[in-house]
């Protein structure tokens, strides 16, 4: 039997988070009033801001902020999402069903954010710098520096902003424990893995500093070396797809059950004999401790399906 943070463990994490959230709201009107009036100063990428010690109505503008908030038991009232048609990612579960969409990550809807009457807004300098003054006029607003920064650092930043900095490491430790479990069970040491995202007329390869790449390496794989150009990813012409070879190749799709959703060049078994299509809603956009556990569960399933001796 596997030990560590399995799917059942993730349910337990969710239950603990829900209990924390309920207890935070269960102290009576006087306690709630005292928490609302108590503030802390957060230094961030756009300056420093006084924020509530225990914010009750949080709006987040980045996937890692949404994932981390829910993992910590702070359910945002609103979130910018990658696609308004898709909405809040399903992997976040029932806890996220009440989160209202407030535009997209690339273009948050300021009017919708204002209508949600937030007491804290969390955004990203590289994406949302031009909106800062408008958002700060609505509620205390803090920005992490970049979505390309190491995602675990962004988890810690979000946790600190929410007044739950002491809980962040526990979430990240659970993720690391699950990595170690997958690596040990499937003997990944010495094997390479590459995540490919087909889009437009290029193949985007994700490197070791990306969310998915770092998770693959956390689980014991090595991302094949290349010039990552100081970025989390590089684009490759489909004609050069062979350069993306690895012992395990993972190709993202918005419709992973539909074979027609990925281009033929990456489904060529002669080129990629150990290729698997994965769900981009968490492999690409599920950045955070819950997304990390979901990716690791998926990776565990994929490796478990491989023929004996292919590990």
Q: Is 88's pLDDT higher than 50?
A: yes
Q: Could you give the CA distance from residue 115 to residue 59 in angstroms, rounded to a whole number?
A: 11
pLDDT of residue 31: 52
> Minimum mean pLDDT among 68-82, 177-191, 254-268: which range?
254-268
pLDDT at position 309 over 60: no
> Is it the case that residue 310 has pLDDT exceeding 70?
no
- What are the structural domain ranges in the chain? 7-163, 187-305
What contacts 253, CB < 8 A, 6 or more positions away? 198, 261, 262, 277, 278, 279, 280
Distances 94 to 137, 215, 221, 279 between C-alpha atoms, Å = 31, 24, 32, 19
State the DSSP code for 205.
E
Does residue 198 register a pLDDT over 50? yes
pLDDT tens digits, one per residue of 20-44? 444 444 444 555 455 456 999 999 9
pLDDT at 304 over 70: yes
Q: How many Å apart are CA 201 and CA 265, to the nearest integer?
A: 12
Identify the weakest region by mean pLDDT among 13-22, 129-138, 152-161, 218-227. Answer: 13-22
Enter the pTM of the model.
0.86
How does DSSP assign 34-49, residue by residue?
HHHH-EEEEEETTEEE
Contact (CB, 8 A) for 252 and 280: yes
pLDDT value of position 148: 86
- Residue-averaged pLDDT of the chain: 89
β-strands 202-206, 141-144: how paired?
Answer: unpaired
Number of C-beta neighbours around residue 258 at 10 A:
10
pLDDT band at 10 (very low <50, low <70, confident <90, very high): low
Q: Do domains 7-163 and 187-305 have the same CATH topology?
A: yes
Q: Residue 38: count other Cβ atoms within 10 Å of its Cβ.
A: 11
Q: CATH assignment of 187-305?
A: 3.40.50.1980
Outline where 149-262 has alpha helix (H): 151-161, 165-186, 211-218
Residue carrying structure tokens 């948050």: 108
Instruction: Return d(Cα 277, Cα 164) in angstroms, integer.
Output: 36
| pLDDT, average across residues 94-118 | 96
Per-residue confidence band for 11, with pLDDT thresholds at 50, 70 and 90: low
Q: Which of 16-30, 151-165, 169-183, 242-256 has the lowest mean pLDDT?
A: 16-30
Give the pLDDT confidence score for residue 25 in this predicted structure.
Answer: 44
- Domain 7-163's class? alpha beta
């Amino acid at each position: 039997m596997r030990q560590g943070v399995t799917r059942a463990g993730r349910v337990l994490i969710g239950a603990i988070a829900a209990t924390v959230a309920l207890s935070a709201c269960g102290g009576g009107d006087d306690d709630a009033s005292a928490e609302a009036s108590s503030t802390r100063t957060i230094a961030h990428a756009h300056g420093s801001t006084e924020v509530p010690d225990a914010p009750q109505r949080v709006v987040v503008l980045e996937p890692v902020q949404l994932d981390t908030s829910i993992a910590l038991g702070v359910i945002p009232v609103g979130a910018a999402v990658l696609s308004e048609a898709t909405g809040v990612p399903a992997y976040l579960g029932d806890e996220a069903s009440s989160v209202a969409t407030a535009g997209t990550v690339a273009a948050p809807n300021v009017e919708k954010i204002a209508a949600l009457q937030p007491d804290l807004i969390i955004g990203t300098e590289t994406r949302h710098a031009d909106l800062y003054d408008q958002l700060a006029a609505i509620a205390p607003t803090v920005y992490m520096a970049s979505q390309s920064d190491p995602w675990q650092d962004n988890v810690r930043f979000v946790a600190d902003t929410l007044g739950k900095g002491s809980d962040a490491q526990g979430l990240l430790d659970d993720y690391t424990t699950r990595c170690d479990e997958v690596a040990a069970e499937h003997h990944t040491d010495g094997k390479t893995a590459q995540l490919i995202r087909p889009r437009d007329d290029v193949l985007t390869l994700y490197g070791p500093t990306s969310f998915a790449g770092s998770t693959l390496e956390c689980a014991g794989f090595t991302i094949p070396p290349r010039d990552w150009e100081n970025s989390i990813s590089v684009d490759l012409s489909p004609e050069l797809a062979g350069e993306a070879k690895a012992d395990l190749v993972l190709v993202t799709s918005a419709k992973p059950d539909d074979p027609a959703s990925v281009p033929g060049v990456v489904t060529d078994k002669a080129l990629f004999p150990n290729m698997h299509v994965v769900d981009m809603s968490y492999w690409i956009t599920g950045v955070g401790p819950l997304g990390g556990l979901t990716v690791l569960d998926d990776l565990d399933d994929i490796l478990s399906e491989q023929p004996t001796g292919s590990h």
